[in-house]
Structure 1
Amino acid sequence: MDVLELYRRTGALLEGHFLLRSGLHSPIFLQSAALLQHPLYAEAVGEALGKLFEDEKVDFVIGPALGGVILSFVVARALGARALFAEKDGLGGMTLRKGLTVNPGDRFLAVEDVVTTGESVRKAIQAAEARGGVLVW
């Protein structure tokens, strides 16, 4: 399935002039929440992303809360992996919620619904690496 077409179909592909939270400007904005509210479309996006990494051994997929939670789930499902998320720790970083485990050497992918500076996904990656996870990409 054409993921960009799903963004168009759901009105999640916005064109114009956007001032992003990061202070950067963009002529296009993907409002992923508008697409991910549709479970069948979210699953299709997860499968498309999963196909990109089907030859990799992936133990889990992580995304920052809140935006990366659904996306980490659907990509993990497509890969037959676990779905984790990191949340703000109150100290400027992120941590994994109690009960979510990373075993030393577990290989993982990191996903995010919208990326401008990449800061949130970087913090999620750091939280997984702090527990011994190894970033695949």
Structure 2
Amino acid sequence: MKTEEVLAIFREAGAILEGHFILTSGLRSAVFLQKARVFMHADKTERLCKALAAKIRQAVATPDYVVGPAVGGLIPAYETSRHLGVPAIWVERENGVFRLRRFEIEPGARVVIVEDIVTTGLSIRETIECMKGLGVEVIAAACIIDRSAGKSDVGVPLIALAEYEVPAYPADQVPPELAKIPPVKPGSRNI
């Protein structure tokens, strides 16, 4: 699946929003990818995650598990794991730190972290830290869309179904035309 096909699915779902957004990373952007509008459609989610699973298979060996960072990575991790034929587990924040709370995983297990959208890669890096603390080998990370177009270093190979570079700015460096629009924060962190 090519980037334009992925973006077409997001457009069909009304998931490419324009305005002034505070991203989960804290950066500001004129574009927000509201993946929840895509993930509410099982057929669209299945198409994206089946293609992501195929891309993962081409890049690395099949993992023992797929790990998703909660909340945004839950649905794509589950659906991608279904196409890879391996279990999906997830990490969730406990006192601001990702922990594997609901599952056990054996040391030495090989995992791929699956995320929805990558901007800075922070959630993936935090998930890697959690997995390494459990003695787990992270062989790669994957996402539906990489907003950084390959610029985010997550510490392991990043497999992106699509790269869609959208400018994002620190709050004190927002362009004047964007600063005129009141910001909204539609992301899931800190909820």
Q: Which amino acid aligns with 2:101?
A: R
Work out the CA distance in 2 between the residues paired with 1:128 and 1:20.
25
Q: Is the 8 A contact 2:91 2:100 kept in 1?
A: yes
**Structure 2, unaligned runs of 5 or more:** 141-191
| Contact 1:94-1:124 within 8 A present in 2 as well | yes
Checking the alignment, whether the CA contact within 8 Å between 2:45 and 2:79 is kept in structure 1 is yes
Identity between Structure 1 and Structure 2 (%): 40
Structure 2 Cα separation of the partners of residues 18 and 76 of structure 1: 31
Q: Which SS does the other structure have where 1:22 is aligned?
A: coil
Q: Hey, what's the Cα distance between the residues in 1 that align with 2:22 and 2:87?
A: 35
**What is the CA distance between 1:16 and its match in structure 2?**
5.0
Q: Once the two structures are superposed, what CA deviation does each residue of 1:22-72 show, in whole Å capped at 9, x if it has no partner?
A: 342334321111101111111111111111111422111111111111111
Give 5+ residue unaligned stretches, structure 1.
none
Selected match of 2:97 from 93, 96, 121: 93
TM-score (structure 2 length as normaliser) = 0.63
Give runs of aligned pairs for residues 19-98 of structure 1, distance below 5 A.
19-55=22-58, 56-90=61-95, 92-98=96-102
Partner of 1:110: 113
Matched length: 135
CA contact (8 A) 1:15 1:27 kept: yes
Give the secondary-structure state (helix, strand or coil) at the position aligned to 1:47: helix
Pick from 128, 141, 163 the counterpart of residue 125 of structure 1. Answer: 128
Q: Partner amino acid for 1:22?
A: S
- Match of residue 155 from structure 2: none
Tell which has more relative contact order, 1 or 2 (C-alpha 8 A, sep 6+): 2
Alignment CA distance shift 1:21-1:53 (3 Å): closer
Name the one with the larger helix percent: 1
> Mean alpha-carbon deviation: is it higher for 20-29 or for 79-88?
20-29
Q: Shift in Å at residue 17 of structure 1? A: 4.8
8 Å CA contact retained: 2:77, 2:114: yes
Q: Does the 8 Å CA contact 1:3/1:48 hold for their aligned counterparts?
A: no
Query: Aligned AA for 2:92?
Result: E
Question: How far is the alpha carbon of 1:14 from its aligned partner?
Answer: 2.5
Does the Cα contact within 8 Å between 1:109 and 1:136 map onto a contact in 2? yes
